[in-house]
Structure formats: structure tokens, C-alpha cells
């Protein structure tokens, strides 16, 4: 059985790591290079680095910062934010990223997924989907959760898989930053309907929440930010607990 992955997320704004609740009320959480180094040494399986204001401000991800983070880590490293072309991805991979995450640009130009997969391979391409449950329907949102679309989460996820993406990073906007647990019902449906790995994001507040998302949500990986940044949960302790509960993890 494949091991389940624990992935700290570094949300970057103006060169600093930040964390908010429901995508707003951001507060400073530290230097991304220092945090990346700590996480790599403390048992994280991968890192995700999202320049959360890159799309909104119509600029590119901070390639130089990517380079400095990549220098310090020896685990797979995914970068997202403001990526809209093959050239953008080329620059990030050259600066040390192992994978890239695209979100708004994929919705606006779905062919971009095909183009990136053709050039770099499925294993490099993660499609991030931010969705909010509104009147019983999961609606995809863009630009850091600010702009609703008419896309349904599950329909879009299927299209993303068909276009060749290697993974989906699903963030529940309803759960984000609440520490009430992941959106396991939606995650279970995604994991059941799709064949590519699903990364759960949004809502981690306790070790039990990670157990639940692997067991009930059938997620392949769980991503979290504040519980790790503010040392509410240590990754090594979390992994020991998961192993105790029979969930396969890398220790």
C-alpha cells in the first residue's frame, strides 16, 4: 500500500509565510526559507509553496525565493501562484521546484494542462482546486477564492484528470483555517471517482483530523499550514500516531 503523505503548505505574500481563515484575515507565520528547512528536517514528505497573491496581482511567482527554498530541502517541492504558461513552469523547475501547481490559469485555459503535461510529464503537474459548498453544490472559485465560477468541483476534477494532470490539490474554502477537520465527504467522492492522487487541504486542527481524512476521506495526502507553523502539531508526533492507527506513513 502506498504511504500517506504529510505536506506542510507555505502560503507566501510579499516574501513572508502567512496564514488566514476562510482565505482572509492573513497573519504572519515566518520566513519561508527557514520554515522549509525545518519541515524537511522534521519528517515532512513534501512541501507546497503557494504565492497566494501572484494571480491577483498579475505577477509571477517569486522564482528567486523558490531557488532559496529549494536549496534548503531534500524532499519534493511543489510551487504555485501566477503560473500561466509553459515558460513560467520552465523557470520554476530550473529554480528547483519538483512540481508546479496551477489553479486559476487552468480554469481560464484548460488546454494549458495538456500543454504542460506534454512538455514536462504528468508527475510534474498538480491542479489546485479551491471550492466552496453553496446550497449543497461545490462551486469552484478562482483568484485566491475571490471569484466564483459556474464549474462544479467534481466535473472539473474529472476534466483535469482526463487532461493528464498528475494530482489534484483540493482545498475546501468552507473548512480552510477553521481547524474543524477536512471536507471528508467531498474528498471521499473525489478519491472514489478519480484515479489520480487527491491531496486534502483546509481544516486541519488535530491529529484525529488527519486520521479521518485518510480513512473517511480516502485522501492520498494531507496538507496543512497553521497547525505546523505555530507548532500545534509536530510532524513526527503526527506520523507516529498515524502509524499506531494502522495508516501507512514514512517515518
Q: Is the pLDDT of residue 28 over 80?
A: no
Which whole number is the average pLDDT over 91-111? 94
Provide the grid cell at 47: 512541501
pTM for the structure as a whole: 0.91
CA dist 198 and 17 (Å) reads: 24
Q: How confident is the model at residue 169 (pLDDT cuts 50, 70, 90)?
A: very high
Superfamily of domain 5-244: Aldolase class I (3.20.20.70)
- What positions carry a catalytic annotation? 11, 130
Predicted confidence at residue 214, as pLDDT, reads 98
Angstrom distances, CA of residue 90 to CA of 73, 103, 128, 178: 20, 17, 19, 35
Predicted confidence at residue 69, as pLDDT, reads 84
Q: How confident is the model at residue 59 (pLDDT cuts 50, 70, 90)?
A: very low
Burial class (CB in 10 A: 0-12, 13-18, 19+), 122: middle
Q: Is the pLDDT of residue 18 over 90?
A: no
Q: Is the pLDDT of residue 77 over 60?
A: yes
Q: Is the pLDDT of residue 213 over 60?
A: yes
Amino acid at each position: 500500500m502506498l504511504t500517506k503523505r504529510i505536506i506542510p503548505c507555505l502560503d507566501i505574500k510579499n516574501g513572508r509565510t502567512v496564514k488566514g481563515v476562510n482565505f482572509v484575515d492573513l497573519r504572519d507565520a515566518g520566513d519561508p526559507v527557514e520554515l522549509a528547512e525545518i519541515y524537511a528536517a522534521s519528517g515532512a514528505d513534501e512541501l507546497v509553496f503557494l504565492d497566494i497573491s501572484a494571480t491577483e496581482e498579475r505577477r509571477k511567482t517569486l522564482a528567486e525565493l523558490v531557488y532559496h527554498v529549494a536549496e534548503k530541502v531534500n524532499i519534493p517541492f511543489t510551487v504555485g501562484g501566477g503560473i500561466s504558461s509553459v515558460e513560467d513552469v520552465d523557470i520554476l523547475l530550473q529554480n528547483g521546484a519538483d512540481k508546479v501547481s496551477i489553479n486559476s490559469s487552468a480554469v481560464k485555459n484548460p488546454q494549458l494542462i495538456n500543454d504542460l503535461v506534454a512538455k514536462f510529464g504528468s508527475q510534474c503537474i498538480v491542479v489546485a482546486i479551491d471550492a466552496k459548498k453553496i446550497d449543497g453544490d461545490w462551486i469552484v472559485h478562482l483568484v485566491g477564492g475571490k471569484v466564483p465560477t459556474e464549474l462544479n468541483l467534481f466535473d472539473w476534477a474529472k476534466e483535469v484528470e482526463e487532461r493528464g494532470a498528475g494530482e489534484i490539490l483540493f482545498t475546501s474554502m468552507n473548512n480552510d483555517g477553521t481547524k474543524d477537520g477536512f471536507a471528508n465527504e467531498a474528498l471521499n467522492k473525489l478519491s472514489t471517482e478519480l484515479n489520480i492522487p487527491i491531496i486534502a487541504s483546509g481544516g486541519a486542527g488535530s491529529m484525529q483530523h488527519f486520521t479521518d481524512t485518510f480513512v473517511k476521506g480516502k485522501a492520498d495526502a494531507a496538507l496543512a499550514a497553521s497547525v505546523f507553523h505555530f507548532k500545534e502539531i509536530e510532524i513526527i508526533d503526527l506520523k507516529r500516531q498515524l502509524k499506531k492507527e494502522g495508516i501507512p506513513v514514512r517515518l
